Amino acid sequence: MRCTIVPPHVLEHVAGGHGDEQVRELVQRTLTLDNEQRLTRDAAQLIAQPPPPTAPAAANRTLHDAGHQESLPGRTVRSEGGAATGDQQVDEVYDWLGVTFDFYNVAYGRNSIDGGGLPLVATVHYSTNYDNAFWEGSQMVYGDGDQQIFKTFTGPLDVTGHELTHGVTQYAGGLDYQGQSGALNESLSDVFGSLVKQYHLGQTADQADWIIGQGLFTDSVHGVGLRSMKAPGTAYDDPNLGKDPQPAEMAGYVDTDSDNGGVHINSGIPNHAFYLAATAIGGHAWEKAGRVWYDTITSRRVPTGADFAMFASMTYATAGTLFGVKSTESDAVRDAWTKVGVKIT
């Protein structure tokens, strides 16, 4: 909003260092006057005008290398705007963080994970043979994989989309990471992880593969990825790993103590509901079905212990608000949940 031609820092430099007393005095008066005008102008704007538009949202990424140790964040290897490092994992994650940031910003007007421009921090080369990636609460962490079953977790874009969405869910109020609320937490990460990939590829709902972690397995594994939102339970069937255990409907809900109550298993049910809603509506899935899910989770009305039925009912209500209670979009959301055996109340 400043309109002076000479920037204040230049004037300050002259005021402090110029040998000619008259020039120094003149410049000092200009600065003082400038400040007074600026204050007056700012005050007038506060009263007379709507708040100025916020600065355009831009990602602020910092990449670290754990050097196969486990202390975080590790050595800084690339900052925002920095040149590619030549380290594949570093450069992949840098790009995927950018795509995920753009997705949330363009699709939903969200400025970063917290909605307030949170810097994106990530560490690669974590531990040794580490078959995982996770959101640590304030940053991303990626393992290189064991290279026998898993390739590096930095590879597939939807892994980064999945993990950063755990951050979005956290900042939106959170979902307890156990049982049905935990499976919803997982499902939201799969939903938006897949949508980030679809957005990046420009795919419509019927063009998308709806696979989570495509490209993560080495060639030795019989499987297309870790989870299928289109057909839960069919992503892999391997002599060493066994078969994808995900159910697609409530009738197959798995009661278990492990994995915080099967959060990565039962997420298949809400995953499939989203797939059904998105494909019934058609077009780019992030625009309508994704908007319904996004508005629901960021409404701050979802209790942290929400179960499937409660979340389903809230998505149906959101669809009604966005598109009308008798709209095809609302019907698609209701029918999707009904098909997976979750009753909307």
Partner 1 sequence: MKVAVTRSGGFAGMVRRAEVDSADHPAVAGLINDVRLDEVPAEPRREPDRFVYDIQIGDRSARIGEADLQGPLRELVDHVMTQGS
Q: Which is nearer to partner 1, 57 or 248 (CB)?
A: 248
Decide: 270 and 187 in contact? Cβ < 8 Å. yes
Decide: 278 and 198 in contact? Cβ < 8 Å. no
Q: Taking CB under 8 A as the rule, does residue 106 contact partner 1?
A: no
CB of 12 to partner 1, least distance (A): 48
| Amino acid found at 127 | S
21 as an active site residue: the answer is: no
Q: Which is nearer to partner 1, 96 or 150 (CB)?
A: 150
Kindly indicate which of the ranges 38-46, 171-179, 293-301, 322-330 contains the residues binding partner 1, using the contact rule CB under 8 A: 171-179
Q: How many residues bind partner 1, per CB under 8 A? A: 32
Tokens read off for 304: 């942290």
CB of 344 to partner 1, least distance (A): 27
Q: Which of 64, 162, 264, 272 is an active site residue?
A: 264
* Cα–Cα nearest to 166, from 285, 263, 92: 263
Find the binder of partner 1 among 123, 139, 189, 271 (CB under 8 A): 189
Task: Provide the Cα torsion 210, 213, 217, 221; round to 10°.
Answer: -40
163 as an active site residue: the answer is: yes
Q: How far is CA 188 from the centre of its chain?
A: 10
Question: Segment 235-274, which members bind partner 1 (CB under 8 A)?
Answer: 241, 257-260, 263-265
Kindly indicate which of the ranges 85-93, 115-123, 131-139, 323-331 contains the residues binding partner 1, using the contact rule CB under 8 A: 131-139
Task: Give the residue carrying structure tokens 């964040």.
Answer: 73
Q: Taking CB under 8 A as the rule, does residue 65 contact partner 1?
A: no
CA quadruple 120, 60, 100, 153: dihedral sign: negative
Find the binder of partner 1 among 101, 150, 286, 293 (CB under 8 A): 150
Q: Taking CB under 8 A as the rule, does residue 234 contact partner 1?
A: no
Q: Which of 163, 166, 272, 284 is an active site residue?
A: 163
Alpha carbons 342 and 345: distance in angstroms, whole number? 9
Kindly indicate which of the ranges 61-69, 106-114, 175-183, 280-288 contains the residues binding partner 1, using the contact rule CB under 8 A: 175-183
CB of 253 to partner 1, least distance (A): 15
* Cα–Cα nearest to 262, from 274, 245, 279: 245
Kindly indicate which of the ranges 14-22, 75-83, 160-168, 194-202 contains the residues binding partner 1, using the contact rule CB under 8 A: 160-168
Residue 98: exposed, middle, or buried by beta-carbon count in 10 A (0-12, 13-18, 19+)? middle
Q: Taking CB under 8 A as the rule, does residue 298 contact partner 1?
A: no
CB of 275 to partner 1, least distance (A): 18
Find the binder of partner 1 among 134, 234, 282, 320 (CB under 8 A): 134
Q: Which is nearer to partner 1, 141 or 281 (CB)?
A: 141
Instruction: Give contact residues for partner 1 (rule: CB under 8 A).
Output: 131-137, 150, 153, 159, 162-163, 166, 176-178, 182, 185-186, 189, 213, 216, 226-227, 241, 257-260, 263-265
Catalytic positions: 163, 264
